[in-house]
Chain A
Amino acid sequence: MALFGKRRRDALKNVHAERDAFLRRAGVAVLFCFVGVVVLVARLVDLQIVEHEHYQTRADENRMRVTPVAPVRGLIYDRNGSLLAQNQPAFVLEVTPEQVGSREAMDKLLARLQHVITLTDADVTRFKDRVRKSPRYRGVPLRSNLTMEEVARYEIDRYQFPGVEINAGLTRNYPFGASAAHLVGYVGGISEEELRAANESQFLGLTQIGKNGVEKSQEDLLRGEPGAKIIEANAYGRPLRELDYRRGYPGRNLYLSIDTKVQAVAEQAMGNFLGSVVALDPRNGEVIAMVSKPGFDPQLFVGGIDNGTYQTLLNDPQRPLFNRSLQGLYPPGSTVKPAMALAGLEYGVVTPEHTEYCRGEMTLPGSSRKYRCWRRSGHGAVDMLEGVKRSCDIYFYNLATMLGIDRMHEAMTGFGLGHVTGVDLPLEKGGLYPSREWKRKARRENWYPGETLNTGIGQGYVLVTPLQLAQMTARIAMRGDGYKPHVLHAIEDPITRKLSEIQPEPLPKIDLKDNANWDTVIAAMEAVTQEPGGTAYAIGRSAPYRIAAKTGSAQVAGLRQDEVRAPKQEDMPLRLRDHALFIAFAPAEAPRIAVAVMAEHGGHGASIAAPIARQVMDQYLLGYVLYGNENATEASSRVTPSIVPGLPVPPELQQMLQKPVPSGAPAAAAPTPDAPDAAAPEEEDR
C-alpha cells in the first residue's frame, strides 16, 4: 500500500503536459549545471593557469627548508708552515629522543651509556635541557670530544643503544697551546651581541667565532662562506631528503709572520717572569715573536668554557688572559734614552760632545728636591755616548730640561710612544706620553719642571706597551723608516692555493736634519753591548753579531727623598721590585730583528731582560741559542720546540720566507771565554 494515495481531483493528470513541463524544467536544470561548471572551471583556470607560479612558489616554500652548511675555518700557520691553529675531527655522541621512546627508556639508555662512555652530571643536565627545547626527531648532543677508546667501546655494543649516533665534526685545536695563546687567540661560542653586530647570514650554521688574537682580528678571512643544503621537510618540519646543495667556501688559510721557534725560545727564556717579549722585523714591521706571560690554555675556550674555569682565569692575580704585549702599560724607563738623545741632537740642544758632570744627584734651581742618578756615586763627566752606554740619569735630566716637555712630546710620540701602533690584533692599548696640554686637561694642573726630568728617563706619567718599545727600536734601527707592525704575512686561498702576501705599510719617515745623528746614537747603543762598562756588555760581548741595545729598569716603588741609597733589588719583595726592560736590534750594521723585553718585577734590565732578548736574537739570526751554551755543541744547543708537522709549505711561500741565515762559524766569532770580566757593570742600571 502506498503511503500517498491519489486524491480524486489529482487523478486526472495530464500526462503529456506533465512530461513537457518536466522537460522544460530539466532544460533549466541543465542550464543550472552549465553555469555551475563554468564557475568551477573559471576558478580552476585562475588557480592552476593564471596564478600557477604563485602557488608553485608557495608549495615550495611549504616544503623546502634551507639548512646552512658551516664552512671549514681557515688554518693558521707560522712563517715556516707550522700549524698554530687547526681543525681536528672530534666525535660527538648524539641521541635522537624520538627513536629512544619514553622518558623511562631514555633514563635506562643513559644508564647503559654510562658503562661505555664517561658522562658527568653536567653532561646529563645540559642534555636533558636541550631535549626539552628541540624537536623530538632531532639529534641532541650528549657528549663531545669522545676519545677513540670510547668510540670503540660504543661501536662494540652499538646494538644496545637505539637512537644513539656518533657523529664526526671539526673542532678547533691549538698545537702550541699557551705559548702563542694571546697572539693566535681562540674561538668560542657566538654571543647574542656578536651575532647582532655581524651580518647574520655570514654565520649561518656556525657556532664559533674568533674571540681573541688573530682568530678575532682575522675572523672575516678565517670564517669562509657558509653553504646551504635545501631539504624537503613535511608539515611537521621533519627533514625527509636533500633536494639541492649549494657549495660554500672554506675560510682562508693564514700564514703569520711569527716564527714559532723564536716564539718558543722567547717563552722559555722568560721562565717564570711575568711580562712580554716582542720581536719585530724592522725592515717590514712583521712580528717575529710576541709572548705574553703567563699564558693560558686556549683550548679551554673552544666549544664553550664553563663559568667556573672562566672566573678562575679572570680573577687570577697574574691576569693570564691579559695580552701584556699590547695591553700591558709600563713605564719605559731608560729604554727611552736613545730616542731622547736623538731628540737632543735634532733640536740642536746638545752635540755628541756635550758633557754633563754626574755627582749621583742634582737639584733644579730654586728647589731643594733631589734628582738622583741610579749610580749613587756618580758617573763623573759624561758625554752622549757615555750617557747612553752607562745609562747616566743626570745626563738625561739635563738633556730633558734643555729640550722641555713640548719638544720631548713631539719627538717621542714621533717614535710611536703613547699611541696604538695599529697592529692587526685586537684590544691594543695606546698608553700615554704626557704633554703640557694633556696635564691641563686630564689633571687640571700646570706642568712642573721636575716632571720633565722624570719623563726624560721614562718615568712619571709615561706608559707604553712592549709593542711600542719594539716599534721604537725598529725605527731607530731603520734610521727613521718604519712600518706598521703586523702578524699577518700571507693569505692562502684554500681552493686555488693562491697565496697573496700582505704588503708592509710604511709609516711617515722620521727625517733628521743630519743623518749622522743616527750614527751617533746607534754607535752609543752598540757601545751598551760592545764596550766594557756598557750596561749590557755581558750579553753583547759573547754575541757573534753586533747588537745595538739599551737597558732599562722602571721604578715600581717610589724612593723616599731621605733614602740616599735604594735597597738592593734582590732584597725587596717581588711586587716592589723594578720592572726589567731591554730593547735591542741586530745586526747593528744591517738590522733584521728588533726586540723589546719587559719582565715585570725583574729587578734589572741588564741581568734579567737582556739575556732573554739575546736568546731570541740568537734563535732568529743563528738558528739556535748560543747564549749560555757557548761550550756546548751547536746541535745540542738547538731548541726544538714541539712543532706539529703541518701541511707542506707551498714553494712560493718558502721562497718568500727564505732569509739568509748567517752561516759563519759562531765559535770563531764568539769572544774567548777568558776575556776580562772587568767590564761587567759596576752595578745594574735602573
Chain B
Amino acid sequence: MIADVLHPMRKRPDKPEPGFADWLESWHIDIWLLLLLLAVAGIGIFIQYSASGHSIDGVISQAQRVGLGLVVMAVIAQAPPDLYRTVVPWAYLGTIVLLVLVELLGDHAKGAQRWLDLGIIRFQPSEFMKLAMPTTIAAFLHTRRLPPTLLTILVTLALIGLPSALIAKQPDLGTALLIVAAGGFALFLGGLQWRWIIGALLAIGAAAPILWEQLQDYQRQRILTLLDPESDPLGAGYHITQSMIAIGSGGAFGKGWLNGTQAKLDFLPEAHTDFIFAVYSEELGFIGVMLLLVLYLAIVGRCLWIAARAQDTFQRLLAGSLGMTFFIYVFINIGMVIGLLPVVGVPLPLVSYGGTSAVSLLASFGILMSIHTHRKLLAN
C-alpha cells in the first residue's frame, strides 16, 4: 500500500512497459513542465549569445545558472508538499527579518538596496520571498474556511503587505509587484469575494494620486514616458523607443539569429537582461514571438492543470498562484518592452540573463512538480 503511494507508476498495472515519462515521474519530475522549461531556457541561451555580443562566457554562465536551477528544482520536487506547508511559513518569518536587515545594513547595487552580504555570498532576500509568499498565503488559507472571512482577508493582506512594503522601499518595485501578485493570486483563487475585489480596485483608483506621490522620481518618469516615449527620445524615452524600434524592425519573420542591429550596435540598452525580448523579437520576428508566447502559455496551462488536479486547498492555491505569477512575470516584462507598461525591473523568465531569478523560478517549478507527483490515491 505504502509502496503504491510512493510509486505512482504502479497505479496502472495495465501498462506493462513504463516509459521515460513514467520513470521521470517516479523521480517526481513532470516531463511536460521539464520539456517546456528546457525549450524556453534553450531559446534563452541562444538569444543570450546574440544579445551579449557573441559572448561564450555569458552563455556558459547562463547555462550554469539554468543547470543549477534545474538541480534545485529536482531537489525541491522530491519533498512532499506538506513539508513546505509546515516549513515555509517559518522561513517567511525569517525572510522578513532578513529584509529588515537589508533595510538597515544592506549593500548598495545600482542605487538600490537589495543585497545582503553574507561574507561568502551576496544574497537577495526579496528573491526568496517570491517563493515564500504564495506558499505562506496558501498555507494560511488552507487552515481557513473558504471563501475567506473578513478577518482572514485582513490577515492575508497583512501577510502580503509587510514584506512587499519592505521590498518596495529598497526600492525594487518590480519584485514587490510580483510578490503582491503571488499573494494576491492565492487569495483570489481562494475565493476572495468579488465585492472585495471590485471594492479594492475602486479604492486603488481613488488612492492613485496618493500612490503617485509615494513613487520615486524615476518611477514617475517611467510612467510618464510610457504615455509618450517620443517626447524625450534621448532621455527617459530612449530605452522604450529603441526597444520598440528593435521589435518593429523585426517584422513578421525577423532579421535572423545574430542579425539584429539594435542590440549588436548598442542602440538597445540592457539588451541581454530586462530587454532581451526586444532582441528576440528583432531577430526572430512575429513568428518567433508567437512560438515563445505559446511555450509560456503552455507552462502556465500546465501549472493550472496541476492546480486543478491537486488534492488539497494548500496545493491548489499554491500551484495556481505560482502559475499565475509566472504569467504575470511574462506579461509585465513583455508589456514593458513593447511599451505597454512602465519600465520596472522584471526579467523575462528563463531568458533574461540573471542568476537568482532563474534559480528561484525553477525552484517554484520544483514545488509544482512536488505537488503533481506526490498525489495520494484517494477514494472517490
Residues of A within 8 A of B (CB): 1-7, 9-10, 12-13, 15, 18-19, 21-23, 25-26, 28-30, 32-33, 36-37, 39-41, 43-45, 47-49, 51-52, 54-56, 58-60, 62-63, 232-236, 240
Main secondary structure of the interface of A (DSSP, over half): helix
Among A7, A30, A40, A45, the residue within 8 A (CB) of B334 is: A40
| Cβ distance A36 to chain B, nearest Cβ, rounded Å | 5
- Expressed in whole angstroms, the Cα–Cα distance for A55 and B267 within the complex equals 13
A48 near B250: Cβ-Cβ < 8 Å: yes
B191 near A10: Cβ-Cβ < 8 Å: no
Would you mind naming 15 contact pairs between A and B with Cβ atoms under 8 Å apart? A2-B143, A3-B90, A4-B142, A26-B189, A26-B320, A33-B300, A40-B334, A40-B340, A41-B293, A48-B281, A59-B248, A62-B267, A232-B261, A234-B267, A235-B266
Report the nearest A residue to B82, measured CB to CB.
Answer: A2
Q: What mask results when residues 172 to 194 of chain B are scored 1 for a CB within 8 Å of chain A, else 0?
A: 00000000000001001111000
Given contacts A25-B191, A39-B340, A240-B265, contact A44 B281 (CB under 8 A): yes
Among B145, B189, B285, B289, the residue within 8 A (CB) of A25 is: B189
Given contacts A19-B316, A33-B327, contact A13 B265 (CB under 8 A): no
Report the nearest A residue to B260, measured CB to CB.
Answer: A59
A29 near B338: Cβ-Cβ < 8 Å: no
- Expressed in whole angstroms, the Cα–Cα distance for A48 and B290 within the complex equals 12
- Expressed in whole angstroms, the Cα–Cα distance for A128 and B286 within the complex equals 51
Report the nearest A residue to B155, measured CB to CB.
Answer: A4
Q: Is B59 an interface residue (CB 8 A)?
A: no
Measured between beta carbons, the chain B residues less than 8 angstroms from A4 are 89, 139-140, 142-143
Among B90, B249, B324, the residue within 8 A (CB) of A55 is: B249
Report the nearest A residue to B334, measured CB to CB.
Answer: A40
Given contacts A21-B191, A52-B249, A56-B251, contact A44 B266 (CB under 8 A): no
Task: Contacts A3-B93, A59-B282 known; list 19 others, CB within 8 Å.
Answer: A2-B85, A3-B90, A3-B136, A7-B143, A13-B146, A21-B146, A22-B313, A26-B308, A30-B304, A43-B339, A47-B248, A48-B248, A48-B281, A51-B248, A55-B246, A55-B249, A59-B261, A63-B267, A235-B266
Report the nearest A residue to B241, measured CB to CB.
Answer: A58
- Expressed in whole angstroms, the Cα–Cα distance for A543 and B282 within the complex equals 86
B245 near A62: Cβ-Cβ < 8 Å: yes
| Cβ distance A302 to chain B, nearest Cβ, rounded Å | 39
Give me the 4 closest cross-chain CB pairs, A-B, nearest first: A55-B248, A3-B89, A59-B249, A235-B266
B248 near A29: Cβ-Cβ < 8 Å: no
Measured between beta carbons, the chain A residues less than 8 angstroms from B250 are 48, 52
Q: Is B63 an interface residue (CB 8 A)?
A: no
- Expressed in whole angstroms, the Cα–Cα distance for A232 and B265 within the complex equals 9
Measured between beta carbons, the chain A residues less than 8 angstroms from B92 are 3
Q: Is B317 an interface residue (CB 8 A)?
A: yes
Interface members, chain B 144-185 (any A CB < 8 Å): 144-147, 185
Q: Is B297 an interface residue (CB 8 A)?
A: yes
| Cβ distance A118 to chain B, nearest Cβ, rounded Å | 41
- Expressed in whole angstroms, the Cα–Cα distance for A63 and B265 within the complex equals 7
Q: Is B247 an interface residue (CB 8 A)?
A: yes
- Expressed in whole angstroms, the Cα–Cα distance for A550 and B293 within the complex equals 100
- Expressed in whole angstroms, the Cα–Cα distance for A2 and B138 within the complex equals 12
- Expressed in whole angstroms, the Cα–Cα distance for A28 and B324 within the complex equals 11
- Expressed in whole angstroms, the Cα–Cα distance for A30 and B143 within the complex equals 26
| Cβ distance B22 to chain A, nearest Cβ, rounded Å | 26
- Expressed in whole angstroms, the Cα–Cα distance for A45 and B289 within the complex equals 10
B146 near A18: Cβ-Cβ < 8 Å: yes
Measured between beta carbons, the chain A residues less than 8 angstroms from B317 are 22
A36 near B293: Cβ-Cβ < 8 Å: no
Report the nearest A residue to B262, measured CB to CB.
Answer: A59
| Cβ distance B346 to chain A, nearest Cβ, rounded Å | 14
Among A18, A33, A43, A58, the residue within 8 A (CB) of B245 is: A58
B185 near A29: Cβ-Cβ < 8 Å: yes
- Expressed in whole angstroms, the Cα–Cα distance for A356 and B140 within the complex equals 139
B143 near A21: Cβ-Cβ < 8 Å: no
Q: Is B362 an interface residue (CB 8 A)?
A: no
Measured between beta carbons, the chain A residues less than 8 angstroms from B61 are none
A55 near B293: Cβ-Cβ < 8 Å: no
B265 near A233: Cβ-Cβ < 8 Å: yes
| Cβ distance B116 to chain A, nearest Cβ, rounded Å | 23
Residues of B within 8 A of A (CB): 85-86, 89-90, 92-93, 136, 139-140, 142-147, 185, 188-191, 242, 244-252, 261-262, 264-267, 281-282, 285-286, 289-290, 293, 297, 300, 304, 307-308, 312-313, 316-317, 320, 324, 327, 331, 334-335, 338-340
Report the nearest A residue to B147, measured CB to CB.
Answer: A21
| Cβ distance A324 to chain B, nearest Cβ, rounded Å | 57
- Expressed in whole angstroms, the Cα–Cα distance for A422 and B273 within the complex equals 71
- Expressed in whole angstroms, the Cα–Cα distance for A54 and B245 within the complex equals 9
B281 near A62: Cβ-Cβ < 8 Å: no
B248 near A40: Cβ-Cβ < 8 Å: no
Measured between beta carbons, the chain B residues less than 8 angstroms from A54 are 248
- Expressed in whole angstroms, the Cα–Cα distance for A18 and B312 within the complex equals 9
Among B146, B252, B304, B339, the residue within 8 A (CB) of A29 is: B304
Report the nearest A residue to B313, measured CB to CB.
Answer: A18
- Expressed in whole angstroms, the Cα–Cα distance for A658 and B53 within the complex equals 68
A10 near B143: Cβ-Cβ < 8 Å: yes
Report the nearest B residue to A5, measured CB to CB.
Answer: B143
Among B86, B185, B312, B340, the residue within 8 A (CB) of A43 is: B340
- Expressed in whole angstroms, the Cα–Cα distance for A233 and B264 within the complex equals 10
Measured between beta carbons, the chain B residues less than 8 angstroms from A26 are 189, 304, 307-308, 320
Report the nearest A residue to B92, measured CB to CB.
Answer: A3
Measured between beta carbons, the chain B residues less than 8 angstroms from A33 are 297, 300, 324, 327
- Expressed in whole angstroms, the Cα–Cα distance for A18 and B148 within the complex equals 11
- Expressed in whole angstroms, the Cα–Cα distance for A4 and B261 within the complex equals 54
- Expressed in whole angstroms, the Cα–Cα distance for A47 and B248 within the complex equals 5
Given contacts A4-B142, A25-B189, A40-B338, contact A48 B89 (CB under 8 A): no
Measured between beta carbons, the chain A residues less than 8 angstroms from B145 are 9-10, 12-13
B261 near A63: Cβ-Cβ < 8 Å: yes
A37 near B293: Cβ-Cβ < 8 Å: yes
A62 near B307: Cβ-Cβ < 8 Å: no
Given contacts A13-B313, A240-B265, contact A36 B327 (CB under 8 A): yes
Measured between beta carbons, the chain B residues less than 8 angstroms from A10 are 143-145
Measured between beta carbons, the chain B residues less than 8 angstroms from A43 are 338-340
Measured between beta carbons, the chain A residues less than 8 angstroms from B324 are 29, 32-33
Report the nearest B residue to A236, measured CB to CB.
Answer: B266
| Cβ distance A63 to chain B, nearest Cβ, rounded Å | 5
Measured between beta carbons, the chain A residues less than 8 angstroms from B286 are 44-45, 48-49
B247 near A37: Cβ-Cβ < 8 Å: no
Among B89, B185, B290, the residue within 8 A (CB) of A2 is: B89
Report the nearest A residue to B250, measured CB to CB.
Answer: A48
Report the nearest A residue to B285, measured CB to CB.
Answer: A48
